[in-house]
Amino acid sequence: MNIKWDNDIVTIALEGRIDSGNSGDVENEIHEAIGDKKPASVNLDASALEYISSAGLRVILRLRKDNPTLRVINVSSEVFEVFEMTGFTEMMSVEKAYRQVSVEGCEEIGRGANGTIYRVDKDNVVKVFNDPDSLDDIQHEREVARLALILGIPTAISYDVVRVGDSYGSVFEFLNATSFSRMIADEPEKLDWCVQEYVKMLKLIHSTLVPEGKLPDMKETVVGWAKFMQDYLPEDKAKKLLSMIEAVPQDNHMIHGDYHTKNLELQNDEVLLIDMDTLAVGNPVFELASMFNAYSGFFEIDHEAIKKFQGFDLETAHKFWQKTLRAYLETDDEEVIKSVEDKARIVGYTRLIRRSIRRKGLEDPARKAEIDLWTKELIELLDKYDTLLFDVDLKREAPKDELDIEATEENLDTVTAFVDERLEKVGCSMKSQMQIDLAVEEIFINIAKYAYKPDKGRATVRVEVKDDPVQVKITFLDHGKPYDPLAKEDPDVTLSADDRPVGGLGIFMVKQSMDDVLYEYKDGANILTLVKSL
Note the pLDDT tens digit of each residue in 134-167: 778 888 888 888 888 878 899 887 878 888 988 8
Note the pLDDT tens digit of each residue in 166-185: 888 888 877 678 889 999 99
Cα gap 393→329, rounded to integer Å: 7
SS3 384: helix
Predicted confidence (pLDDT) at residue 237 exceeds the cutoff of 90 = yes
* CATH code, 2-96: 3.30.750.24
Q: Name the phi and psi angles at 63, rounded to 5.
A: -65, -35
pLDDT confidence of residue 301: 92
Percent of the chain beyond pLDDT 90?
47
pLDDT confidence of residue 324: 97
Better-predicted residue by pLDDT, 69 or 532:
532
Cα gap 141→148, rounded to integer Å: 10
pLDDT confidence of residue 411: 92
pLDDT confidence of residue 498: 43
Predicted confidence (pLDDT) at residue 503 exceeds the cutoff of 50 = no
Confidence tier at 497 by pLDDT (50, 70, 90)? very low
Angle at 320 between CA 148 and CA 253, to 5 degrees: 25
Predicted confidence (pLDDT) at residue 504 exceeds the cutoff of 60 = no
SS3 483: coil
Note the pLDDT tens digit of each residue in 397-435: 544 578 888 999 899 989 998 998 888 877 788 888 888
Angle at 62 between CA 61 and CA 63, to 5 degrees: 90
- Extents of the domains making up the chain: 2-96, 210-265+284-384, 402-533
CB 154 within 8 A of CB 273: yes
Homologous superfamily of the 402-533 domain (CATH): Histidine kinase-like ATPase, C-terminal domain (3.30.565.10)
Q: Name the phi and psi angles at 305, rounded to 5.
A: -65, -25
Better-predicted residue by pLDDT, 387 or 428:
387
Pick from 20-34, 83-97, 281-295, 446-460 the range whose average pLDDT is largest: 281-295
Cα gap 153→138, rounded to integer Å: 19
Note the pLDDT tens digit of each residue in 78-106: 888 888 888 888 888 888 888 888 999 99
Mean pLDDT of 311-317: 95
- 306-309 contact pairs (CB < 8 A, 24+): 309/111, 309/262
CA-nearest of 210, 344, 218, 208 to 282 is 218
pTM attached to this predicted model:
0.62
Mean pLDDT of all residues belonging to the chain: 88
Residue 39 carries which DSSP code?
A: -
Predicted confidence (pLDDT) at residue 500 exceeds the cutoff of 90 = no
- 303-312 contact pairs (CB < 8 A, 24+): 309/111, 309/262, 310/181, 310/185, 310/260, 310/261, 310/262, 311/181, 311/182, 311/184, 311/185, 311/262, 312/181, 312/184, 312/185
Confidence tier at 132 by pLDDT (50, 70, 90)? confident
Cα gap 97→519, rounded to integer Å: 49
CA-nearest of 225, 303, 298, 226 to 260 is 298
pLDDT confidence of residue 162: 86
pLDDT confidence of residue 505: 60
Residues whose CB falls within 8 Å of the CB of residue 483, separated by 6 or more in sequence, listed in order? 450, 451, 526
Note the pLDDT tens digit of each residue in 190-231: 999 999 999 999 999 999 988 888 899 999 999 999 999 999
Pick from 87-96, 114-123, 443-452, 503-512 the range whose average pLDDT is largest: 443-452
pLDDT confidence of residue 152: 84
pLDDT confidence of residue 421: 86
Residues whose CB falls within 8 Å of the CB of residue 228, separated by 6 or more in sequence, listed in order? 354, 357, 358
Angle at 430 between CA 426 and CA 436, to 5 degrees: 80
pLDDT confidence of residue 496: 39
Better-predicted residue by pLDDT, 456 or 303:
303
Confidence tier at 459 by pLDDT (50, 70, 90)? very high
pLDDT confidence of residue 468: 67
| Residues 465, 466, 471, 476, Cα dihedral to 10° | -40
Cα gap 195→202, rounded to integer Å: 10
